[in-house]
Each structure stands twice: as structure tokens, then as C-alpha cells.
């Protein structure tokens, strides 16, 4: 066996072991019998096939139990199409690690009030006082963004359908305003990128509303009176089919105890902006309110859950390849900035042509999501050409600025890989060189589509 073939077999074995382990960990009661059953069904099926070659009569008697076993396996609940839980942080256990990024007074305007975002019992608390100023000083921001599970960021991609549920406590000091007051958003990564969905507290004269809008086209999904919902926990649910218009849709449900306050669905909207989608919670509001509603306040959230509609229990398989362990031309491995994974990151030389090149594994021919984790705390975009197996799939992909060198962000590409080893290269195309590059995550569906 050649060395690459040995490596490939090892990788296959490792991936299978990882898959089995993750299934066993997530579902200890179901996983072992189900996997054993599947294996025995396969064995019985193989046995039936060889018997068929010998004698059609014998084959027919052996194939029947094999089919019955396969059907029993398919009937297991987690093999049916349905909502599959993909994220369920417990504040007291997971703390702020449940999120990709914590934007807690990122301009450092209110050190006396820090931290503004923290765990309090079974919920997350977001404090907002009037001292806080965002990096844009006409507004305030204390938010968490992204969903992290098993130390990986959840990828919400085009063609997928997701449901988020959570409970929210809005005190009567958190009022609707004449300028924007957002309490939840769905966005793609990138500084200054437009939101996709926005949940806001908006004032119409004397009437305070909580509303949900799709940002593209400014489409209102629904609005409810805010005041009856204040000073106690209410339940929020929203579903999102991710796609370019007209394939996107959004459903928004607000429940107050047993009462459904609103349950609206808006279809035909645009919910995909070309990069992965992620949720933000917190208080992000303009200081331009003209109604005198702004004051020190807070918001609480708990029972956060994310479900993906899927016909398999097994989540997509996500493998991380560190930049510092890849092939590097015109770049150096560093570890001075924190927040990276592995042992460091690659700092590209200030020149065009430097690259990081990975050999990555794919289970089968088909689509994969590539997450390039990077930081660029300059004011200049640092584009790179991304090639897969020698073909440029994203020329001059923009790596926009990030708030800090230790604030790692992603650019996500969806591309086809072939089964086995694939070569992925990120090449700087301008004289400033590439951004700092931390890792490449490759995500493939666990089942062939
Ligand atoms: Ca779009
Ligand atoms: Ca550099
Ligand atoms: Ca790294």
C-alpha cells in the first residue's frame, strides 16, 4: 500500500470512529442498538445476495428477514425527516462559550459597567446603560453572535431550514424607540454587512411594538404590542428557510404562556446573502430616539435552541485543518494574537503570491462548505484567490476587516469536492498580502444527497 493510500485509509477509519463516537455521545440509548441493527441488516443483505447467486429459491427465503430488518431500522425516529436539535446551550454549564463572539462594549466605553453580558442563574443577561457607546458613537451595542456547539460554529447555509426557539424577558425599562432598537438579528459574517432578519422594538406614536422584518425589501413579517409582553418571560420561535428570493421564507411565533400572540409566515423573501447565516441576541440601539424612551435597561434570554429540518439524525461532519500545519509560502506561523485554534495562525508576508495550501478529506463526491477563519484588523480588505484542486473557485475573495487581530471571522464557500483528498489553496492577490489565517473547516453532510 502506498503512503497516501495508507493515510487515506487511516483518515476513513478515524472519520468513521468519530462519527460513531458522536452518535454514541449524543444518543447513548439509541445509538448502539441502532448501529448494530444496521450492521446486521447489511450483513444479512450481503448474505442474501450471495445466496441469490447460488440459488434463487434460497435467496427468496433469506432476503425477506433482511428487508424486514432494514425497514425496522428506517422506522427509528431519528431516521425520519424532522426537526433535529443542533444547539441547546445551558448558560450555567456552557457560559458564553455557546456563542462565537461576545460584543460586550467593544469600544471599551464603559469599563465601570463591565461585564455587560453574563450568565445569571439559568439565563443570559445583557445590561445596557446610557454610558455605553459602540465603535460608531451614535449607537449602543451589547450582543452575542453565532452559535457554537462542540467547539464548532453552526453553519446555516442556503437550501436549509432552521428553527430557533428561546424565552425572553423584556423589562418595562427596555422601551420601543423612534430610531432602531434591535433585540435579535440574523446576519452573515462581516463588518458592516446588512442584516437578513431583524427583531426590533419600534415606536409608532404612543404605541410600542415588537416586530420582525426581513431586511431585503424591508418586508414586515409581523408586529405585536410590546407593553403586554413586558416584565415576564415570553416565548419566541422563528423558522427560516434560507435561500435567495423567492426561495426564502420566515415564520415568527410569539407565545405568552399558553396564548399565541402571533404566528405569521412570510414566503418569497431573500434570506441568503452569499455567506453563512447566524443569529445575534442582545441590545443594539440608536441613540437618535426622539421619544425620551432611552434609559438604563437590560434584557434576559434563556432556553435557547436551534433545530435543523433534516432526514438524518447525524449532523454534518466538520473537520478542522489548521493553517499553521498546512503548506505555507511567503508567510510565517505566529501565536501573538489570541483566540485562534490549534497552535497559532499564519501571518502572510506583505506581498501578492503568498499562500496556504491544505490537503483535505471528503467522504464522497458532493457539496462541502469551506469556512476560512481569518483576522484582519486593518482598514483594508485583503483579497485572496481560493482554488480547489487547481481551479480558482473564488477569485479575489474579500477578507474584510475584523474588529481586532484576536477576533476571528469566517468567509464561507460552498463548493464541490471529490471523494478522497482535495487540495485547497488561499493565495494573497495584493501587495498587502493576505489576512492572518487561522484554519479551514470543511463541512460535509453526513449522508449523500
Ligand atoms: Ca440573496
Ligand atoms: Ca501579514
Ligand atoms: Ca490555527
Residue 311: predicted pLDDT? 82
CA of 386 to the centre of ligand 3 (A): 18
The larger pLDDT score, comparing residue 422 to residue 191, is at: 422
Topology agreement, domain 83-310 and domain 317-444? yes
pLDDT for residue 102 is more than 80: yes
Query: Average of pLDDT values for 328-336?
Result: 98
Cell numbers 478515524: residue: 14
Query: Average of pLDDT values for 240-249?
Result: 97
CA of 346 to the centre of ligand 3 (A): 8
> With pLDDT > 90 as the criterion, what percentage of the chain qualifies?
76
Any idea which ligand is nearest the CA of 431? Answer: 2
Instruction: Give the pLDDT band of residue 447 (cuts 50, 70, 90).
Output: low
Least confident stretch, 183-197, 355-369, 392-406: 183-197
Q: Please report the beta strands in 159-296, taking only residues with DSSP state E, as ranges in sequence order.
A: 161-169, 181-187, 195-204, 207-214, 219-225, 233-241, 248-256, 259-269, 278-286
Q: How far apart are CA 292 and CA 418, in angstroms?
A: 59
pLDDT for residue 38 is more than 90: no
CA of 339 to the centre of ligand 3 (A): 9
pLDDT for residue 96 is more than 80: yes
Are 111 and 261 in contact by the 8 Å Cβ rule? The answer is no
Q: How far apart are CA 114 and CA 96, in angstroms?
A: 15
Residue 190: predicted pLDDT? 82
Residue 392: predicted pLDDT? 98
CA of 195 to the centre of ligand 2 (A): 30
Assess whether the previous peptide bond of 384 is cis (omega < 30° from 0). no
CA of 426 to the centre of ligand 2 (A): 14
CA of 44 to the centre of ligand 1 (A): 48
**List of residues 6+ apart from 413 with CB closer than 8 A:** 369, 370, 372, 386, 393, 394, 397
Query: Domain limits of the chain?
Result: 3-75, 83-310, 317-444
Least confident stretch, 53-67, 113-127, 321-335: 53-67
Q: How far apart are CA 161 and CA 243, in angstroms?
A: 9
Any idea which ligand is nearest the CA of 380? Answer: 2
Least confident stretch, 27-41, 120-134, 364-378: 27-41
CA of 333 to the centre of ligand 3 (A): 9
Residue 68: predicted pLDDT? 61
Least confident stretch, 73-82, 229-238, 267-276, 295-304: 73-82
* Residue ranges with CB less than 5 Å from ion ligand 1: 244, 270, 272
Any idea which ligand is nearest the CA of 270? Answer: 1
Least confident stretch, 80-84, 238-242, 321-325: 80-84
Mean pLDDT, the chain, whole residue set: 86
Query: Average of pLDDT values for 203-226?
Result: 97
CA of 245 to the centre of ligand 1 (A): 6
CA of 437 to the centre of ligand 3 (A): 7
Any idea which ligand is nearest the CA of 269? Answer: 1
- C-alpha cell at position 410: 469566517
CA of 354 to the centre of ligand 2 (A): 10
Any idea which ligand is nearest the CA of 244? Answer: 1
Any idea which ligand is nearest the CA of 321? Answer: 3
One DSSP character per residue, 277-338 reads BEEEEEEEEES--SSS---SEEEEEEEEEEEEEES-SSPPEEEEEEGGGSEEESEEEE--SS
Are 429 and 293 in contact by the 8 Å Cβ rule? The answer is no
Any idea which ligand is nearest the CA of 374? Answer: 3
CA of 214 to the centre of ligand 1 (A): 12
Any idea which ligand is nearest the CA of 350? Answer: 2
Any idea which ligand is nearest the CA of 433? Answer: 2
CATH topology of domain 317-444: Jelly Rolls (2.60.120)
Query: Average of pLDDT values for 48-63?
Result: 41
Residue 122: predicted pLDDT? 97
> With pLDDT > 70 as the criterion, what percentage of the chain qualifies?
82
Residue 209: predicted pLDDT? 98
pLDDT for residue 94 is more than 60: yes
The one-character DSSP state at 177 is B
pLDDT for residue 29 is more than 80: no
Residue 17: predicted pLDDT? 43
- Is it true that domain 83-310 has CATH number 2.60.120.200? yes
CA of 55 to the centre of ligand 3 (A): 58
- CA–chain centroid gap for 188, Å, is 10
Least confident stretch, 47-51, 312-316, 369-373: 47-51
- C-alpha cell at position 108: 471599551
pLDDT for residue 213 is more than 50: yes
Any idea which ligand is nearest the CA of 242? Answer: 1
Residue 354: predicted pLDDT? 98
Q: How many CB atoms lie within 10 A of CB 238?
A: 22
CA of 113 to the centre of ligand 3 (A): 33
pLDDT for residue 20 is more than 90: no
The larger pLDDT score, comparing residue 380 to residue 17, is at: 380
The residues with which 101 forms a beta bridge, in sequence order, are 145
Amino acid at each position: 500500500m502506498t503512503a497516501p493510500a495508507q493515510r487515506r485509509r487511516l483518515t476513513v477509519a478515524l472519520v468513521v470512529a468519530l462519527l460513531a463516537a458522536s452518535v454514541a455521545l449524543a444518543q447513548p440509548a439509541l445509538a448502539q442498538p441502532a448501529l448494530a441493527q444496521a450492521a446486521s441488516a447489511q450483513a444479512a443483505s450481503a448474505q442474501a445476495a450471495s445466496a441469490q447467486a447460488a440459488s434463487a429459491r434460497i435467496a427468496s427465503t433469506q432476503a425477506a428477514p433482511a428487508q424486514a430488518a432494514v425497514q425496522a431500522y428506517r422506522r427509528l425516529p431519528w431516521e425520519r425527516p424532522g426537526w433535529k436539535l443542533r444547539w441547546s446551550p445551558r448558560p450555567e454549564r456552557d457560559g458564553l462559550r455557546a456563542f462565537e463572539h461576545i460584543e460586550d462594549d467593544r469600544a471599551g466605553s464603559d469599563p465601570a459597567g463591565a461585564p455587560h453580558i453574563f450568565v445569571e442563574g439559568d439565563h443570559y443577561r445583557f445590561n445596557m446603560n446610557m454610558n455605553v457607546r459602540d465603535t460608531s458613537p451614535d449607537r449602543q451595542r451589547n450582543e452575542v453572535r453565532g452559535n457554537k456547539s462542540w467547539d464548532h460554529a453552526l453553519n446555516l447555509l442556503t437550501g436549509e431550514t432552521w428553527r430557533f426557539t428561546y424565552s425572553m424577558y423584556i423589562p418595562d425599562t427596555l422601551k420601543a424607540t423612534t430610531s432602531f432598537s434591535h433585540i435579535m438579528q440574523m446576519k452573515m459574517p462581516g463588518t458592516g454587512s446588512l442584516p437578513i432578519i431583524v427583531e426590533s422594538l419600534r415606536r409608532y406614536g404612543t404605541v410600542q411594538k415588537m416586530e420582525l422584518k426581513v431586511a431585503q425589501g424591508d418586508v414586515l413579517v409581523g408586529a405585536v404590542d410590546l407593553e403586554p409582553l413586558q416584565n415576564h418571560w415570553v416565548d419566541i420561535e422563528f423558522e427560516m428557510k434560507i435561500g435567495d428570493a423567492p426561495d426564502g421564507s420566515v415564520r415568527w411565533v410569539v407565545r405568552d404562556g399558553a396564548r399565541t400572540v402571533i404566528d405569521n409566515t412570510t414566503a418569497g423573501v431573500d434570506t441568503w446573502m452569499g455567506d453563512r447565516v447566524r443569529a445575534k441576541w442582545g441590545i443594539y440601539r440608536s441613540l437618535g430616539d426622539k421619544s425620551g424612551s432611552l434609559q438604563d435597561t437590560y434584557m434576559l434570554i434563556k432556553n435557547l435552541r436551534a433545530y435543523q429540518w433534516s432526514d438524518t439524525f447525524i449532523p454534518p461532519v466538520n473537520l478542522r485543518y489548521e493553517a499553521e500545519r498546512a503548506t505555507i509560502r511567503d508567510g510565517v506561523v505566529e501565536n501573538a494574537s489570541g483566540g485562534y485554534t490549534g497552535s497559532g495562525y499564519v501571518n502572510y508576508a506583505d506581498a501578492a503570491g503568498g499562500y496556504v495550501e491544505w490537503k483535505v478529506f471528503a467522504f464522497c463526491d458532493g457539496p462541502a462548505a469551506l469556512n476560512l477563519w481569518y483576522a484582519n484588523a486593518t482598514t483594508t480588505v485583503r483579497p485572496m484567490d481560493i482554488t480547489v484542486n487547481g481551479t480558482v473557485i473564488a477569485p479575489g475573495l474579500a477578507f474584510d476587516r475584523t474588529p481586532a487581530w484576536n477576533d476571528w471571522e469566517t468567509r464561507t464557500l460552498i463548493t464541490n469536492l471529490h471523494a478522497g483528498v482535495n487540495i485547497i489553496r488561499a493565495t494573497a492577490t495584493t501587495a498587502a498580502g493576505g489576512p492572518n489565517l487561522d484554519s479551514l473547516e470543511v463541512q460535509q453532510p453526513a449522508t449523500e444527497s
